[in-house]
Chains A and B, each alone.
Chain A
Amino acid sequence: MSHHYIKFTNVSYTYPDGYKALKDIDLYIAHGERVALLGNNGAGKSTLLLHCNGLLKATSGEVNIGGIPVTKKTISDIRRSVGMVFQDPDDQLFMPTVEEDVAFGPINMNLPPKEVEERVFMALEKTGTTHLRTKSPLNLSGGQQRRVAIATVLAMNPSVLVMDEPTSNLDFGARRELINLLKTFSHTQIIATHDLGLVNELCNRVIVMNEGKIVADGERDTILADLNVLQILHIE
C-alpha cells in the first residue's frame, strides 16, 4: 500500500472564462502523509483539489495518483481511491436520507449488497452518525453534515482523503471532534484550510499557495516561521 502517492507534474489550469487558476504546479505527497494546503481566498486551493480525482482536467501537465495518470479511462478507478470532501456539505449530500447518501458511493461501485450494508454501517459508526441514519441531510446541523459528508467518502474505502476546509462553520466542540476524528485516519490526506490550529495538530507538512502558484512547501514549523509566507497569508 505504499503506492498511494499524489503527484502533480507541471499542472496548469485555465477556467473556461479564461482565468488562469493554477500555474505550473509541481507537487509530491507520499503515502500516509497529512498535508495542509494554505492560501488566501482565491489562491486556487479548491481548484487544485478538484484535480486530484479528475473533476477538473489539467489544461496542461499531468496528475498521477499512485502510479495511475488521471485520464478519462482511469477516472473510475481514481475516484474509488480518492475520497473528496467538498467545501460546502450542501453540495455533497443530495440523497433523501443520510444512510442512502452514505450508500450512494458503494452502490455505484457495484459492491455486493452485503458489503454495501457493512460499509454504510462502518462509515456511520466511525463518524459517530449512526443515530442520524434516517434523517434528511438537509435538516442536520453544520457539524453533523460535515461528519456525514466524511462518512459518505469513508464508505468508499479510499486510500487518499482530500478535504476542502473541513472545519469551516463549525463551533468549538464540533471542530474539536472533527480534528480528533481526522487524527484516527491513516489515509494520505490533503486538507485545504484556514484553520492554523488544525494545521498545528494534524499536519507536519504545509504547502502554501498564492495566485495559482505554490510559493512554499515544507516542514510545518519552518514554513510557518517564514516571514514571506506570513506576509502572504497576512498573519502577523
Chain B
Amino acid sequence: MGKLDKVFQTLQDLEKHKSYRAFPDPLVALPITILYLCLLLSIPLHRVTMLIWMGLYPIIACACAGQTYGKVFLKSLIILPLCIFIGIFNPLYQHSVVATIGSFNITQGWISLISICIRGVFALQSVIILIESNGFISICRTMRRFGIPSFITDQLQFVYRYIMVILKETITMRNARMARGYGRKKYPLKMWSAFVGQLFLRSIDRSERISKAMSARGFKGEMIDYHTYISNMQHKLSFSNILYLLTWGTVLPLLRFTDLSSIFFR
C-alpha cells in the first residue's frame, strides 16, 4: 500500500462504525473541545507549567474515548514544523534570562518557542480525539444542531467528500501511471502538470456525476442525519455524557485559572 492509499484509508476510517453513538456524544465532545481550545490558547506564553497541566485533558479524554494516547500523540507531532516556523524568531529576540539549569541559561525566547510548540501539539490532540471518536460528518451535523447555518456545515461535509473523491481519482491515476511506467520513478515537470490538469478535470467530472446521483434521489440542499431523523429528532444525553460534560466543564477552567503547581508543589 502506498502513502496515498494510507491517507485515503485513514480519512475513510474516520467515518467507519460511526453510525452508532460514540462516547462522549458529539453534543458533549464538541463544546468541551471548543472550551479546551479557548482556555488552552488563552494561556500566556510564559506560563509553561500551566500549559503542561492542560495536557491532562488529551490524555484522559483519549482514555474515555477508547483511543491510544501514543498514536494520537504521534499524529499530533505533525504540527511541530508549523509551531517552530511561528516561534523560531522568539529565541533570537527575547534574550532576558528566566532560569538557569547548570551553566545553561534559559531565555524568555526559548520559553516562548516551547510554549508555542506544546500548545500546538495539545490543541491538535484535542481535535484529533474529537474527530476520531465521532467522525467528521457527525461533527458537522452537531455543529448544525448548535445553530451553525446549514450552508456552512454542508459545505464542510462536501469538502470532506470532495477530498475523498480527489484522493480516489489520484490513486486510480497513479496506478494507471505505474502500470505503464515500467518502474520509472522520475517524470518531467511537463508530465506532472498534465497529470494535475487531468486530475482536476476528472475530479470535476466525478463530482458532477455524484451530484447527479444526489438529485436523482431528491436532494434539495440539506443533509439530514438518518439516526437523528428516525429517533424523531430527539437526542437524549445519557447520564455518563452529562457527567462528562459537567466534570470537564469545571475541571478545565480550574486547570486554567488556578495555579495547581503552587498547590501541589509548595
- Chain A residues at the B interface, C-beta cutoff of 8 Å: 50, 53, 55, 76, 79-80, 84, 86, 88, 90-92, 94, 96-97, 99-100, 103-105, 107-109, 113-114, 116-117, 120, 134-136, 138-139, 152-153, 156
Interchain CB contact under 8 A, B17 and A134 = yes
Is B19 touching A96 in the complex (CB atoms < 8 A)? yes
Instruction: Produce 1/0 per residue, B145-174, CB < 8 A to A.
Output: 000000000000000010010001000000
Nearest chain A residue, comparing its CB with the CB of B219: A108
Task: Say how far A80's CB is from chain B's closest CB, in angstroms.
Answer: 7
- A79 with B218: CB separation less than 8 A: yes
Min CB distance, A131 to chain B, in Å?
Answer: 14
Q: Are B229 and A94 in contact (CB under 8 A)?
A: no
A88, A96, A116: residue with the most chain B Cβ atoms closer than 10 Å: A96
Per CB-CB distance, the 10 closest pairs between chain A and chain B, nearest first, are: A108-B218, A96-B15, A105-B217, A103-B226, A91-B209, A113-B230, A100-B226, A84-B216, A97-B19, A92-B213
Whether B224 sits at the interface, judged by CB under 8 Å, is yes
The interface of chain B, by Cβ under 8 A from chain A, is: 12, 15-20, 135, 137, 161, 164, 168, 206, 209-210, 212-220, 224-226, 229-232
Cβ-defined contact, A116 with B212, below 8 A: no
Report the separation of the CA atoms of residues A90 and B16 in the bound assembly, to the nearest whole angstrom: 17
Q: Is A108 within 8 A of B220, CB to CB?
A: yes
CB proximity of B153 to chain A, nearest CB, Å: 15
Report the minimum CB–CB distance from B221 to chain A (whole Å). Answer: 10
Chain B nearest CB from A90 CB (Å) reads: 8
> In the complex, what distance in Å separates the CA atom of A184 from the CA atom of B12?
35
Q: Which residues of the other chain, B, contact A107 by a CB distance below 8 angstroms?
A: 224, 226, 229
The 13 sampled A-B contact pairs (Cβ below 8 Å) are A53-B216, A79-B216, A80-B218, A86-B213, A88-B209, A90-B168, A90-B206, A94-B161, A97-B15, A100-B225, A109-B218, A113-B230, A136-B12
Distance between A188 CB and nearest chain B CB, rounded to angstroms? 17
A136 vs B225: C-alpha distance when bound (angstroms):
15
**A residues near B220, Cβ cutoff 8 Å:** 76, 108
User: How many Å lie between the Cα of A86 and that of B213 in the bound state?
Assistant: 8
Residues in B with CB closer than 8 Å to A114 are: 230
Q: Which residue of A lies closest to B217 (CB)?
A: A105
* Chain B residues in 8 Å Cβ range of A94: 161, 210, 213-214
Chain A min CB distance to B227 (Å):
8
> In the complex the two chains form, is A105's CB within 8 Å of B212's CB?
no
Which residues of chain A come closer than 8 Å to B232, judged between CB atoms? 113
A116 in contact with B19 (CB, 8 Å): no
Least CB separation from A105: chain B residue: B217
Q: How far is the CB of B175 from chain A (nearest CB, A)?
A: 15
Q: Which residues of A are found within 8 Å of B216, using beta-carbon distances? A: 53, 55, 79, 84, 86
Q: From B158, which residue of chain A is reached at the shortest CB distance?
A: A94
Task: Give bound CA distance, A25 to B219, whole Å.
Answer: 29
Nearest B residue to A120 via CB reads: B226
Contacts of B225 in A (CB 8 A): 100
CB contacts (< 8 Å) of B20 on chain A: these are 134
Complex: A153 Cα to B224 Cα, angstroms:
18
CB distance from B246 to the nearest CB of A (A): 30
